[in-house]
Amino acid sequence: MNNEIKPSDDGRAWVEIDLDALAHNASEIRSHLPVGCALMAVVKTDAYGHGMIRCAQRLCAEGITIFGVATIVEGIRLREAIADVDILVLGYTHPKDAKFLYEYALSQIVVDGAHAQQLNDMGFELRVHIALDTGMHRLGIRPGNLEEIESVFSCSNLKVDGIATHLASSDSLDKADVKFTNFQIERFNSIIETLRSKGYDVGKRHAQASHGIFNFSEIAYDYARAGIALYGAMENNDDVYIQHNLRPVLSLKALISQVRWIGAGERISYGGIYTTTKAIKMATVGIGYADGVPRQMSGNDGMCLVGGKKLPILGRICMDMLMIDVTDLEDVKAGDIVTLIGKDSGEEIRCEDFAVASGTISNDILCRLGSRLPRIYY
């Protein structure tokens, strides 16, 4: 498609990104970090649907110097856009792709001793961070396996730049969960101490993601890896110790395609899960589950905003469309804007509310927003 002459970005359904809110959140998070701890901006999955390159460029302008991605392909894309920052691949990279880590100057998490050895054997000088499994049981070396950890340091092609772990329950203030998080931290500290006492330079230490930053703010490592907090969509303030002032960065909007009256006793959408009990004015909206509005949200009350009013979704959400009840709105017509996430005339639907209505978390909603939605930046 010729990019000079193309259909309007706001002609059907789209995402709006407030880059000033992103910058504000970065500064808000940094204000909570202990002295000496730098913010690693996690921009995996296209910056949680916000658009990796535009977000990273803005964060770079705000002074962020290290970025976290999940895959080597994301790392390469980011490197092609920004030359002079550190990029850490947080997920597994197959040793056969070591050459790309080298060529694009990406740092790599090593998940165990075998991974380190295989990367080393590829013959490229690589910068790595060692992953320690302190209790999450996802990636990493068990702290008890000291020899395996030490083996990474003896890989001649690998330069150990950091050591990391991931907290499994730092989003919870439940007593048992807090105890578990403290246990993970103690383990992490203790292995670092052991390594240092044996003369190893472990490099940068990092453990916290967004919830860890706010719930366990006393932890003072060298980096804190923030994703969801940057995008201003962390669960309610009540769930975290430190009150924060994060702003939502993303809005999700769509246009009404058609408005008409439907009589009483009519079934609406697939499968007839909803039947009108009286005559209603109904609007069809040009957004569906292919765009990332979860099908499980079908029939949910009040998860759409039109003219400052929260309106119910009627019946099943379709792949490209959904229907809403606009009986209470006098002046509503095709082409009017429906806000699914964001603000409209003093009312607001937050991504967190949208997530709860869909039985999931905001991270899941954001990273599944459809790639066919244009991103409009402010």
Catalytic residues, which ones? 44, 270
Question: Is residue 166 at the binding interface for ligand PLP, with CB under 6 A as the rule?
Answer: yes
Question: Is residue 59 at the binding interface for ligand PLP, with CB under 6 A as the rule?
Answer: no
Q: How far is the CB of 139 from ligand PLP (least distance, A)?
A: 8
Q: How far is CA 58 from CA 32, 62, 64, 378, in A?
A: 20, 6, 9, 11
Q: Return the residue nearest ligand PLP (CB atom).
A: 227
Question: Is residue 29 at the binding interface for ligand PLP, with CB under 6 A as the rule?
Answer: no
Q: Do residues 269 and 318 lie in contact, with contact meaning Cβ atoms separated by under 8 Å? A: yes
> Pattern 259-288, binding to ligand PLP, x per CB under 6 A?
------------------------------
Return all residues near 367 (Cβ < 8 A) that are at least 6 apart: 45, 46, 48, 49
Question: Is residue 210 at the binding interface for ligand PLP, with CB under 6 A as the rule?
Answer: yes
Question: Is residue 25 at the binding interface for ligand PLP, with CB under 6 A as the rule?
Answer: no
Residue with Cβ nearer ligand PLP (68 or 288)? 68
Instruction: Using the rule CB under 6 A, give the single segment among 111-119, 186-194, 219-227, 287-295 that binds ligand PLP.
Output: 219-227
Residue with Cβ nearer ligand PLP (23 or 90)? 90
Question: Is residue 110 at the binding interface for ligand PLP, with CB under 6 A as the rule?
Answer: no
Convert the chain into a string of H (helix), E (strand) and C (coil).
CCCCCCCCCCCCEEEEECHHHHHHHHHHHHHHCCCCCEEEEECHHHHHCCCHHHHHHHHHHCCCCEEEECCHHHHHHHHHHCCCCEEEECCCCCHHHHHHHHHCCCEEEECCHHHHHHHHHCCCCEEEEEEECCCCCCCCECCCCHHHHHHHHCCCCEEEEEEECCCCCCCCCCHHHHHHHHHHHHHHHHHHHHHHHCCCCCCEEECCCHHHHHHCCCCCCCEEEECCCCCCCCCCHHHCCCCCCCCCCEEEEEEEEEEEEECCCCEECHHHCEECCCCEEEEEECCCHHHCCCHHHCCCCCCEEECCEEECEECCCCCCCEEEECCCCCCCCCCCEEEEEEEECCEEECHHHHHHHCCCCHHHHHHCCCCCCCEEEC
Total residues binding ligand PLP (CB under 6 A): 12
Question: Is residue 363 at the binding interface for ligand PLP, with CB under 6 A as the rule?
Answer: yes
Question: Is residue 33 at the binding interface for ligand PLP, with CB under 6 A as the rule?
Answer: no
Q: How far is the CB of 61 from ligand PLP (least distance, A)?
A: 21
**Binding residue for ligand PLP (CB under 6 A) from 66, 163, 191, 226?**
226
Instruction: Using the rule CB under 6 A, give the single segment among 144-152, 220-228, 278-286, 342-350 that binds ligand PLP.
Output: 220-228
Residue with Cβ nearer ligand PLP (233 or 357)? 233
Residue with Cβ nearer ligand PLP (12 or 58)? 58
Residue with Cβ nearer ligand PLP (227 or 288)? 227
Q: What is the C-alpha R_g of the chain?
A: 24
**Binding residue for ligand PLP (CB under 6 A) from 52, 228, 250, 351?**
228
Residue with Cβ nearer ligand PLP (28 or 347)? 28
- State the distance between the two ends of the chain, measured CA to CA, in whole angstroms: 24
Residue with Cβ nearer ligand PLP (185 or 268)? 185
**Binding residue for ligand PLP (CB under 6 A) from 203, 227, 286, 294?**
227
**Binding residue for ligand PLP (CB under 6 A) from 19, 42, 323, 341?**
42
d(Cα 157, Cα 160) in Å, to the nearest integer? 10
Residues 64-103 interacting with ligand PLP (rule: CB under 6 A): 90
Question: Is residue 225 at the binding interface for ligand PLP, with CB under 6 A as the rule?
Answer: yes
Q: How far is the CB of 201 from ligand PLP (least distance, A)?
A: 22
Contacts with ligand PLP, residue ranges (CB under 6 A): 42, 44, 90, 166, 209-210, 225-229, 363
